[in-house]
Amino acid sequence: MSDSENAMEARICKIRQVATDIVSIELEAASSNALPSFSAGSHVDVHVSERIVRQYSLCNDPASSRHYRLAVLNEINSRGGSRTVHETFREGMVVRIGRPRNNFELVEDGGHAILLAGGIGITPLLSMAYRLQAIGAEFEFHLCVRSLDRAPFLDEIASAPFGSRFRLHVDDGPTEQRFQPDRDLCEVGPRTSVYICGPKGFMDFAVSAARKAGCLEDRLHTENFSGGDLKGGNSFTVIASRSGRRLVVPSEKSIAAVLEENGISVDLSCEQGICGTCLTRVLKGQPEHRDSFQTAAEKQRNDRVAICCSRSTSEELVLDI
């Protein structure tokens, strides 16, 4: 189950278009209680509808937590989340959100930082830029977009204290301003941390470039907006402890799919290992975690598994379901 007990109500106080297909949404507390503070890189669950929960990064200054700001891209291949936000969210609406979680934490050790965003991947990195500026850190901030109209928050960044550290790279612009790893990552050293967020193709390219530039693995930090690999791996047996049923999970199916095919009801939302809705308590066995919802520490405990995408390294996995 997801952490629904931690959900709270927030009111949409401002919506504006910040780029082609991208809206900025500002939230304030719907009650007298203040919104919880958050750290740079955090995200919140947003209950987009009764059955859809999506995760969106907080992209405002963490020092200004009287409100939260999200930026949502209307995805061409939306599975209902971003499209519903664009079509139905309006100023004055009250929505349910989760408390901030952070799986993409900023390391504040005095080292040099490089923020590298692709399109909508700017959202967690923008909050990091505000924090890095506040603590006096040395950093660079890069945004890569296909065209100028798809670059959000440019006016805000230009007037921010870190505006001089920002570099915009446009695919359809002049060659000299495009992102060039040999030039733009030449300052990578043993104390450089690189933070990368964006679509999968961009992520693959940027991660490879950072490694080639000499970024150490423990200083390479990524945030994925796509889900885990749902298929592949050995078959295993899942045991539904409440009924005692034993079901084989083949390599081409998820645990959730097998359970549902056999009449066992499960809670699902994103079905990509992003939202945490399907997290189920593990009673015995060793999960192979493929979700991006749980933190590394939570995965090490092996007490919950995202049944929409994760698998098992043990022959049997006993679940509290």
Q: Tell whether 274 and 206 lie within a shared domain.
A: no
Q: How many domains does the chain have?
A: 3
Residue at a domain's end among 176, 194, 224: 224
Which pLDDT score is estimated for 1?
A: 38
Please give the Cα distance from 240 to 219 (Å, whole number). 40
CA–CA distances in Å: residue 55 to residues 48, 102, 225, 277, 304 = 10, 11, 9, 11, 19
Which pLDDT score is estimated for 73?
A: 95
Residue 106 lies in a domain: no
Residue 77 lies in a domain: yes
Residue 218 lies in a domain: yes
Which pLDDT score is estimated for 3?
A: 47
Report the relative pairing of strands 287-288 and 311-312 from DSSP bridges: antiparallel
Q: What is the pTM of this model?
A: 0.80
CATH code, domain with 289: 3.10.20.30
Residue 150 lies in a domain: yes
CA–CA distances in Å: residue 295 to residues 68, 71, 77, 128 = 22, 23, 27, 19
Sequence letter at residue 14: K
**103 phi and psi, to 5 degrees?**
-105, 10
Residue at a domain's end among 97, 128, 154: 97
Residue 103 lies in a domain: no
Residue at a domain's end among 160, 191, 224: 224
Q: Give alpha helix (H) positions in 4-57.
A: none
The widest CA-to-CA distance across the chain, in whole angstroms, is 64
Sequence letter at residue 252: E
Minimal CA–CA distance to 230: which of 292, 303, 277? 292
Q: Tell whether 252 and 312 lie within a shared domain.
A: yes
Q: Tell whether 166 and 133 lie within a shared domain.
A: yes
Please give the Cα distance from 80 to 54 (Å, whole number). 10
Please give the Cα distance from 104 to 43 (Å, whole number). 9
Q: What is the pLDDT along the chain (321 residues), one digit of tens a residue?
A: 344 557 899 999 999 999 999 999 999 999 878 899 999 999 999 999 888 888 899 999 999 878 999 999 998 766 678 999 999 999 999 999 999 999 899 999 999 999 999 999 999 999 999 999 999 999 999 999 999 999 999 999 999 999 999 999 999 999 999 999 999 999 999 999 999 999 888 999 999 999 999 999 999 999 876 555 555 688 999 999 999 999 999 998 999 999 999 999 888 877 778 778 899 999 999 999 998 788 888 999 999 999 999 999 999 999 999
Whether the CB-CB separation of 315 and 298 falls below 8 Å is answered with no
Domain that holds residue 72: 4-97
Q: Tell whether 77 and 117 lie within a shared domain.
A: no
Q: How many C-beta atoms lie closer than 10 Å to residue 301's C-beta?
A: 10
Q: Tell whether 85 and 169 lie within a shared domain.
A: no
Burial of 317 (0-12, 13-18, 19+ CB in 10 A): buried
